[in-house]
Structure 1
Amino acid sequence: MAEVIETLVACFCENDIYMSGLFTIDTKKFTIRHLEKFSGIRTHTLRTWEQRYDLLSPQRSETNYRMYSIKEAKKILNIALLNKNGHKISFLSTLTDAEIENRIHQFTNDYNKIEVAIIDLIIKMYSMNAEGFEKVLEHCRRTWNIDIMLKEIIYPFLIKTELLWHGNRLSEEHFAIPVIRKNIILGIENAGDALNKDQYVLLFLSNQNQFDLALLYTHYLLKQNGTQVLYMGNDVSVDNIRVVLTQKKVDFLFTYFPQKNHFPLNQLTTLINECSPASKLIITTYPGTVAIPPLHNLSHMSFDEALAFLTQ
């Protein structure tokens, strides 16, 4: 019962952790929910590893739930990857951190090397090692083509750290974001100019404070697919869209909303019906945050569903 209560507290209080300063450069503490998101290992399993094999020694917050250091986060990510490759936890628990690290760097196949690169990016960012973060990406560019780098390394990294959506406004995120943007833009440029589809997609964000990484990634996939893109970026108003729709043929409009959103959807759908009734508005939201009302010419999808739909 105590573990269930702790899971609920960690889940509900996660935002408070960010705001209260527990998740800062100095202390660098993570909840067990962070470790689950980074590693893909369920919290129940992580607790079992911790209690049965003494893998971790978390501190306790003032509200008495587990908090893990950046060193412990790195250890659990490495152990999770080795476990996926057939190593038993009972064996891994006997190894030193250096021995675990050595086994991680013995991987030779691309799948595991890609997983190691994602781990390195997570740890380098939260350690505020900007130079190291950029060097990991430079190594990835030399090792794989830009498509593999964006789809199999950067995209999963953005999902795990939530930078695809909104991030947590941490200082270290601001070191990582420009480097990520640069690489996605490089992918857009390398996608070429060969357009083989008579389809236009308008990409926009309504909030000037939103991260545009998901929008840039969408631009990259659409261009790679041969779709014509009208990229408006963020801080876009209904009036801005009105100007475009009166002058351009637009098949789809795509945007995503943050946790708190006050964009006048009714005004936008009315505008679309008046100026471009054949256009369809596609909206995605951070899971479980924003309720989208049913409106004409509007489809609410998950981000992956929207990408699949727009690139079909």
Structure 2
Amino acid sequence: MNNVKSVFSIKDLENLTGIKAHTIRIWEKRYNVLEPMRTETNIRLYDLANLQKILNITLLHNHGYKISKISKLSEERIPELVNEIISDKSVKNHAISSFKMAMMNFDQTLFVNTYDKLLSEKSFKEVFYTIFIPLIEEIGYLWQTNTISIAHEHFISYLIKQKLLINTEKLQLQEPTNTDKVFVLYLPDNEIHELGLMYLNYEIQLNGYKTIYLGETVPINSLKDVKKYFDNIVYVCYTTVEPNKTAINDYVRQIKREVLTDDSEMWFIGRMIESIDKSLVDDKMKIFTSIDNLVQRL
């Protein structure tokens, strides 16, 4: 059975485009820009073609085109105009829209073509900062609001991971130029949200440091094992949902007691840092509110 989501509510459209549902209704009623289906109880439903169209209309509208003018354009002219006006100013929104459509349609070719076009104009670092990070944040919200399924999230995440691995592998061919410390990157027990950590691994290597990438759901005992092989370790812990807010401070105390007993440090990043008791932070611990914030510290 095909359980892929291909029909969307007006709330889904609001979540995917940033245009309020009330505004979408007005655009429909006044300008006939969309043609929703209707349930027996008169609830609006939209297909993928409607989603593609509203994403294009949103880009045009954000670029200064009035909805009254957009509504007079032919179905063929709207995507043509979108391609004509794409500039450095609007490329971010257009690329994110294209990646969203690739995700919704499970369209690997569209993802690759969009990525390759971006990479012809920007460095991988620029693409990740300006496109992938906002996209990842938005995907998290779309999943939480049931606009997309876990299959959509896994599909797009895997493709982004592929690009990260390719670019990280290029750096691994080079010898580290900064040898005063070694970075050990990991996700704590039951934490599986890996993309942010993978990008930090890329950035830290880009800055000339050796990294030991441990990945998902790493127990504290494994961190202690690494200490047998390296000195001056900086552990980087990316905590998105685990340990949860009721367990995070006990986790920090255990880290301080069992891991940070010598010249090592612990850097925390991720959503759960908001629940860390600031009184636990000392000279062996640092908390970073964003990837950019951490990278600047390197």
**TM-score, length-scaled by structure 1:** 0.73
Aligned to 2:204: 222
AA aligned to 2:260 is S
Aligned to 1:282: 268
Determine what percentage of the aligned residue pairs are the same residue: 22
Aligned to 2:166: 186
Distance in 1 (alpha carbons) for counterparts of 2:240 and 2:18:
25
Gaps of 5+ in 1: 1-20
Matched, 1:89 2:67: yes
1:134 to 1:62, Cα distance in 2 relative to 1, 3 A: farther
AA aligned to 1:90 is S
User: In the TM superposition, what is the alpha-carbon distance from 1:283 to its structure 2 partner?
Assistant: 3.8
Distance in 1 (alpha carbons) for counterparts of 2:39 and 2:265:
51
1:24 to 1:271, Cα distance in 2 relative to 1, 3 A: same
1:104 to 1:260, Cα distance in 2 relative to 1, 3 A: farther
AA aligned to 1:296 is L
1:119 to 1:271, Cα distance in 2 relative to 1, 3 A: closer
Aligned to 1:258: 241
Aligned to 2:8: 29
AA aligned to 2:65 is H
Matched, 1:107 2:79: no
Aligned pairs for 1:227-238 (under 5 A) are: 227-238=209-220
Residue 39 of structure 1, aligned match among 17, 25, 33: 17
Aligned to 1:271: 255
Greater alpha carbon shift after TM alignment, 102-111 vs 42-51: 42-51
AA aligned to 2:253 is T
Aligned to 1:212: 194
Superposed CA RMSD = 3.8
Number of residue-to-residue matches in the alignment: 285
Partner-residue secondary structure (3-state), 2:268: strand
1:247 to 1:30, Cα distance in 2 relative to 1, 3 A: farther
Partner-residue secondary structure (3-state), 2:60: helix
Aligned pairs for 1:130-145 (under 5 A) are: 130-145=108-123
1:61 to 1:164, Cα distance in 2 relative to 1, 3 A: closer
AA aligned to 2:66 is K
User: In the TM superposition, what is the alpha-carbon distance from 1:103 to its structure 2 partner?
Assistant: 0.3
AA aligned to 1:255 is Y
Gaps of 5+ in 2: none
Matched, 1:71 2:49: yes
